[in-house]
Amino acid sequence: MGLFIAVCCTLAWFLADIAARQYDIALLPYWNAAVRFGFFSIINFLLVSHRQAYVREQQLARIDGLTGIYNRRFFLELLELELERTRRYHQPLTLAYLDIDDFKLVNDKLGHSSGDRLLQTVAQTLKETVRSCDIVARLGGDEFAILLPQIDSQQAAIALTRTHHQLKKISQSNRWPIGFSMGAITFNTPPPSTDALIAQADQLMYAVKGSGKNRLECQEYS
């Protein structure tokens, strides 16, 4: 589109130029038109490059480089928006925290490349087993979060049970010596802040880790 506009501008200027004045050298208006087109093309290239760089930097600020899902920073922004929407429309909201049990064993026994592949597989599995409107993020290390807006506790439990089952199935097929501790809280009444929401989900996840690991526990907050 930019090149098309450059051609149109060059042609319009060329026609106006030859209509307004006479040139002693016949090729001079064509030379001027070529220079103008080159100038317009360079400006177009610089603008496109600048826009692509901006989009790329914006993506890097939002996406976890290893797994390709949202990072912690952008997840917190989305969480704030969803919490505001929950308050406005009085709809339930479910937040799940996931921690990979004994993840260090994979790095120690199988190498860091296997650990990276495990994190990528977990991220992909989370995306594939939840709805397209749900938000999946890597919070750092081997911790992940799933935000399920507009879903009650029963529906959330069904969806997350399916996710947890699929994670265990993939772990067994790859012979990874790990488990998955997941805690999920459905809020029917919005908490006062995102910090309070996160704190409860995080506390529940660590309670799961402290009571046997490798399972899912769902709670409802009224």
- HEC string of 13-36 equals HHHHHHHHCCCCCCCHHHHHHHHH
Residues forming the active site? 142
143-149 and 93-101 beta bridge pairing: antiparallel
